[in-house]
Chain A
Amino acid sequence: MAKKEYSFYPGCSSPKGASASNLQVSVDAMCDALDIQLNEIPDWNCCSASIGYGEGGELPRIALSARNLALSEQHNPGQDLVATCAACWLATREASERLRGSDQLMAETNQALAAAGLNLQPEQPQRVRHMVEVLIEDFGFEALGEKVQKPLEGIKIASYIGCQTNRPFGIDGESFENPVYLDKLVDILGGDSIPDYEKKVQCCGGALMFSEPEKSQELVKGILEAAHDNGADMIVTPCPLCQMNAEVYQDQINATHGTNFNMPVVYYSQLMSVAYGKNAGEAGLDGQIIKATKLEDIAGK
C-alpha cells in the first residue's frame, strides 16, 4: 500500500512533557507501522477546547480554529486535516462547517485572519477528520488486522469512547448511544472486547474535572466501576482528556469513596503499537501512571 499523507493538528496536550505525550508517541509508532506520514501544520495554535467559551466569544473562538485551517490549507494543500485529540477535532470541524455555512461569518473571520496575514478560501475546504476515521475509512478493520504481529491475547479491554469523539459528529455509520468500532478494533488486535460495557459513552466530566472535581470524579467512579464489574484488565480510549480523567484521579477517588481502583487506561494507538510489534517505549507505555502490565508483558515478548 502506498504511503498515505495527512495534514496533522497535534494539539496542546501532545508535545514532549505534556499530558498526552504518550498518545503522540504511540500515534507515531502506529503511523510508522501503517506507513502514514503526518505533516504537522506549521505554527498551529490552541483550538480553545470546550471551555474557551466563557471568556472567548464566538468569533474569537472560530478565528483560532480558522487560523489552523488557513495554515493547513496553505502549507499542506490537497491533504485531509487530521487530529488525534477529540476537542481539537471537534472545534476544528465545527468551525469549518460553520464557516462554510455562513457567508457573513466567513467574511468576519477573514477580516480577523487578515490581521495575522492569513486568509481562508471558501471553496474546496479540507476535510477535518479524526485519526480513528482515517483508520476505519482509509484502511478498514481487515487491513488493520493484517498488520498484527503480537495478538493481545488474554487481555480483557473495556472500550471507553467518551463524549467528544462520539458526539455531535461521531464516526460515520456508528450510533451515538452504542458505537462498536473500538470493540471491533480490540477484537482484531487479538484482545477480548466487552461489547456490553455500559459506560462506553459516559461523560468523564471533561474540563469540569478542574473546576468541579467532586462532581466529575463521581462520574469517573462509575466508568471505572463498570469496567471492573465487567472483568476488564484495562480501559482503552481515543480521547486525551478521557484518558487523563479516568487514570490520574483514581487515588483521589479511592480516598473519597473508599474504593480500591487501580485500572490502567490506555490509548487505542498504544494497543495497536504493541500488537504491531513495537516495544513498550515506542508504545508510550512508560507514560502510564497506572502501569498497563499485561500490555507491557506482550510488548516485551
Chain B
Amino acid sequence: MSDMSNAVVEKYHNDFLKEVEAHVEDGEWVKMCMQCGVCAGSCPLGDHWAHPPQELFMMIRAGKREEVLTSDSMWMCTSCYNCIVRCPRGLPITHIMHGLAHYAHRLGLAPEKQPTRVFAKLFWDNITKNGRANELKMGLSLYFKDGFGNGIKEAMKNRPLGQAMMKAKRLNPMEFFGGHGVKDKSGLHAMLAKAREIEDAKLEQGK
C-alpha cells in the first residue's frame, strides 16, 4: 500500500464509508443506496462486473476497503448514464464509479494493467499536453501500451481501419508531428497544476 493510502486508513480508523464520503467524488451518496439492483440490471457491461454498483456500495459500508479499491469493477463503466437516470434513490452512480476508479488510481491500488485504467491515463496525458486530443498519437500509444512487439501486432491488426479512416480524411498522419492544440498552453498547464494542488492539499488535510 502506498504511503498516502496508509495515511488515510490511519486517519479514518478503518471506517471506509467515512473515507469514501470525504474523498470520493459524490461519495456522500453511497449510504443512500437501498440495494434494489436496478443499476446492475441497467448496465450495458453488467455481465462483466465482478461487483455491480449496489454491491460495491454495500462493500463500502461493510468496510471492505481493499476489495473495493483493488477491484476491476468500476473500470467497466462506459459512462452511459443508464444507472443515473433509473436509480429510484437518485444516486449519481456513474459519478461515484468514476470517483472510486479515480481514487483507487490515485492511491496506487487499482489493478496495474487494467486496460481502461491504462487508456484513461494515456487519454489525460494526451489531451492535457496540447489542450486538445491528438487522435493519431492516442491510437498509437494504445497499441504500444503492452510493449513494442505487441504494439506492432496491434498496429498491423488495426491497419485496414486506420487506412480507411485516412482515406475518408478522418485521421491525419501529420498529427504525429505535433498536431492541433490551444495557443495558451502555459496558461492551461498552470491552471491544471493549480487545480491539482488544491485537490492534493485537501486529500492531505482530510477535508
Contacts and interface: CB of A to CB of B under 8 A. Distances in A.
Interface of A: 12-13, 15-22, 43-46, 48-60, 62-64, 67, 108-109, 111-118, 163-164, 167-168, 176, 202-203, 205-208, 210-212, 215-216, 219, 248-249, 251-252, 286-289
Nearest to A66: B191
Nearest to A94: B95
B198 A53 contact: no
Contact of B193 (A48, A115, A251): A115
Contacts of A115: 187, 190-191, 193-194
Interface string B83-124: 011100000001000110110011000000001111111011
Given A17-B175, A19-B135, A208 B116 contact: yes
A282 to B, nearest CB: 14
B80 A51 contact: no
B1 interface: no
A13 B116 contact: no
B32 interface: no
Contacts of A117: 187
A208 B45 CA distance: 10
Contacts of A252: 161
Nearest to A109: B195
Interface string B52-90: 000000000000000000000000101111101110000
Given A44-B182, A63-B192, A163 B169 contact: no
B44 interface: yes
**Which of A22, A113, A210 lies at the interface centre, i.e. has the most chain B CB atoms within 10 A of its CB?**
A210
* Secondary structure dominating the interface of B: helix
**Which of B80, B131, B142, B180 lies at the interface centre, i.e. has the most chain A CB atoms within 10 A of its CB?**
B80
* Secondary structure dominating the interface of A: loop
| Interface size range on B against A | 35 or more
Given A48-B124, A251-B160, A287-B169, A57 B85 contact: no
Contact of B120 (A54, A60, A114, A203): A54
B25 A58 contact: yes
B171 interface: yes
B8 to A, nearest CB: 15
Given A43-B184, A202-B44, A207-B79, A54 B123 contact: yes
A109 B191 CA distance: 9
A53 B95 CA distance: 9
A60 B161 contact: no
B158 to A, nearest CB: 8
Given A17-B169, A20-B170, A112-B192, 20 more contacts: A12-B132, A16-B169, A17-B170, A17-B172, A18-B172, A43-B184, A45-B182, A54-B105, A54-B120, A56-B124, A60-B192, A60-B195, A113-B191, A117-B187, A167-B85, A205-B44, A207-B116, A212-B48, A212-B116, A288-B168
B125 interface: yes
